[in-house]
Amino acid sequence: MAFITIAPPAQPGSLDGALAGPAGVSEPTTAPAAGRRHLRFAALRLAPSHALLIALALVSIFPIYWMFVTAFRPSSDALSTNPFPGPLSLENFQYVLKTIPIAGMLANTFGMALTLALSQLLVAILASYGFARWDFLGKKALYLLFVGSWLVPFQVTMIPNYLLVSQLGLLNTVTGVVLPQLCSAFAVMMLRQHLEAFPKDLLDASQMDGRSSWRTLWEVVVPNLRPALAALGIMLFISAWNEYLWPSLIMQKSDALIQVGIRGFLGAEGNNWGAIMAASSLACLPIFLIYIFLQRYVVDAFVRSGLK
């Protein structure tokens, strides 16, 4: 549901008036002059809403803005509280690049997040297709496994998982971080909702054309679900990138991933805020780039996940 596009026509005085409440309803909007007055009135009435949203946006953005401002300050005025950046300096970033292998960390984390997103997507496509297309014995019970896994917090199973990864000899490796997360029950449930809504006629037609269920999946279903898959894939990537608990357990003696690498850097640098902010902005950079270019997909996927 792209709620951004659903927004009803914001014609003050017409449909909107009814929604807006008593003031809008009581005012007749027949004469053009009255309509114009209403327009101005509506704009005034919206002022508190705008003020509220502006305040909310400022609270949301200021800390991030401050991170960048601090990161780009020359170290000579690191503790400056001047809200506007003075002369920009790359000094902090150079220091970070010199001190920790951050490029490698970013590359490793990128590879980890991409692997996870793709594998979770693939596993979820297969499973949700199986669930949505057929009725079979034990379907309800099997689906309950996925729903139920939502109730098993990772912290409850982390010791056995840790032991298993350690028995496989994968402690302090990116593989050890990836392996237990290859399947996302959440992705299966999200995709199943999409697939339940998929037009059955298309599936029937594809079957009549003589396609096997496998070819139907890849030639009919997946191409038609591309936007949903893209949104879900981006969301899985971001979640994998931001995942903290498991990497922090598995990578205790390695700083190959950004989460643990930066954590170590934070501990070592103490109050060197310029450098810490530079490292932090680098840790967020890929997500910001994704957000800037694919904002609608990102918001859409995450908001849908929280929507009943």
Partner 1 sequence: MFIETAGPAAGIAPAGPAGLPATRRPTRRALSPYLYILPAVVLLLVWTYWPLGQTVNLSFNDWNLIPTKPKQYVDVQKYAKVLSLPELHQALINTGLYILAFLGISVALPLVFALLSRKVQGKARTAYQALIFVPFLITPVASSAIWRWLFAPEGGTIPAIAAALGAPMGNIFRDPGSSMMAVIVIVGWQMLGFGVLVVSAGLAGISPDYAAAASIDGASGRQITWRIIIPLLSPSLVFLSLMTILLSAQWTYPIIDLVTQGGPGNSSTNIYYLLYQFGFRNFDAGLSSAAGTLFFLGFGLIALVFVELSERLSFYDN
Q: What is d(CA 195, CA 189) in angstroms, rounded to the nearest whole number? A: 10
- Our CB check for partner 1 shows the closer of 19 and 33 to be 19
Distances (CA, A) of 233 to 32, 42, 116, 123, 183: 50, 41, 9, 12, 13
Does 108 interact with partner 1 (rule: CB under 8 A)?
A: no
Residues 146, 138 contacting (CB under 8 angstroms): no
Distances (CA, A) of 32 to 5, 8, 42: 28, 22, 15
**32, 87, 160, 223: which one binds partner 1 (CB under 8 A):** 160
3-state secondary structure of 158: helix
Q: Smallest gap, in angstroms, from Cβ of residue 32 to partner 1? A: 22
Binders of partner 1 among residues 44 to 103 (CB under 8 A) are 45-46, 48-50, 52-54, 56-57, 59-61, 63-64, 66-67, 70, 78-81
Does 171 interact with partner 1 (rule: CB under 8 A)?
A: no
Q: What is d(CA 199, CA 183) in angstroms, rounded to the nearest whole number? A: 26
Q: Which stretch binds partner 1 (CB under 8 A): 31-39, 85-93, 222-230, 284-292?
A: 284-292
Does 161 interact with partner 1 (rule: CB under 8 A)?
A: yes
* Ramachandran angles phi, psi of 30, nearest 5°: -95, -60
Amino acid residing at 112: M
| Residue corresponding to tokens 């909107």 | 16
Binders of partner 1 among residues 8 to 47 (CB under 8 A) are 8, 10, 15-16, 18-22, 25, 45-46
**100, 117, 178, 276: which one binds partner 1 (CB under 8 A):** 276
Does 144 interact with partner 1 (rule: CB under 8 A)?
A: yes
Residues 171, 161 contacting (CB under 8 angstroms): no
* Residue window 234-263: x/- pattern of binding to partner 1, with contact defined by CB under 8 A: ----x--xx-xx--xx--------xx--xx
3-state secondary structure of 29: coil
Binders of partner 1 among residues 180 to 199 (CB under 8 A) are 180-183, 185, 188-189, 192-193, 196
